[in-house]
Amino acid sequence: LSDRGGAVLSSLVDFYLETSSSVVLSLKGLLEKLNDALGKAATRLAALTLLGHLTRKQPSWVHLVTRCPLLASLLRCLKTDADAVVLTTGVLVLVTLLPMIPQCGKQLVFDFFDVFGRLASWSLRNPAQVPVLQMLHLQGALYSLFHRLYGMFPVNFLSYLRLHYSMKENADTFHRVVKPMLDHVRVHPELVTGTQDQELDPTR
């Protein structure tokens, strides 16, 4: 987007956030359009960038993002894309969205963990030969995701880490990527008082 186009878009979004005017946009239409754009490689980064701007403003309707196909598309992107800038932007969007998801079923939580596992391995092996600076940004975003998952689902997340990194083929990723992250967190109180089921209870 040009500076002028970005300013126009920003003004439209700000106006909607202040007035909830249906003249500015249809939420359903916006989310569907973003979902379509996320499904195309040529528009994926722009869609994620806009979604990131929207979610960071935390409008009252942001939880709707998690109740439409857009969240599934975001997760699919993070599990399959090979563009480091797209992955970094997508992870930061997910980190912002996570506290706004009203109910996380077990499968959805496991999807979040799978994204972490995939990107931890991907960032170590660098299969796309990503430049160092881009890789550093991705590793920073991954660290933010680690903290978010550990903060929200400590019992389930550590159970996942224990199972996933007990496999021989994942040992190198654990020692070089995950263990340094674990070395910098305190023991979460829920690890003592909580259970996996309590953590995923929608009434929590």
Q: What is the mean pLDDT of the chain?
A: 84
96 pLDDT above the threshold of 80: yes
Q: What is the pLDDT of residue 8?
A: 45
The token duo for 21 is: 């005017």
Q: What is the pLDDT of residue 170?
A: 93
Side chain identity, residue 170: N
Average pLDDT value for residue range 5-12: 52
Q: What is the pLDDT of residue 106?
A: 84
9 pLDDT above the threshold of 80: no
127 pLDDT above the threshold of 50: yes
User: Vertex 133, ends 164 and 131: CA angle to 5°?
Assistant: 80
Separation of alpha carbons 25 and 12, rounded Å: 9
2 pLDDT above the threshold of 70: no
Separation of alpha carbons 136 and 143, rounded Å: 11
Separation of alpha carbons 190 and 187, rounded Å: 9
Q: What is the pLDDT of residue 59?
A: 75
Q: What is the pLDDT of residues 20-76, one digit of tens each?
A: 555 445 577 778 888 999 999 999 999 999 999 888 887 777 777 777 899 999 999
Cα-based torsion angle of the residue sequence 126, 164, 93, 75 in order, rounded to the nearest 10 degrees: 90
15 pLDDT above the threshold of 90: no
Burial of 77 (0-12, 13-18, 19+ CB in 10 A): buried
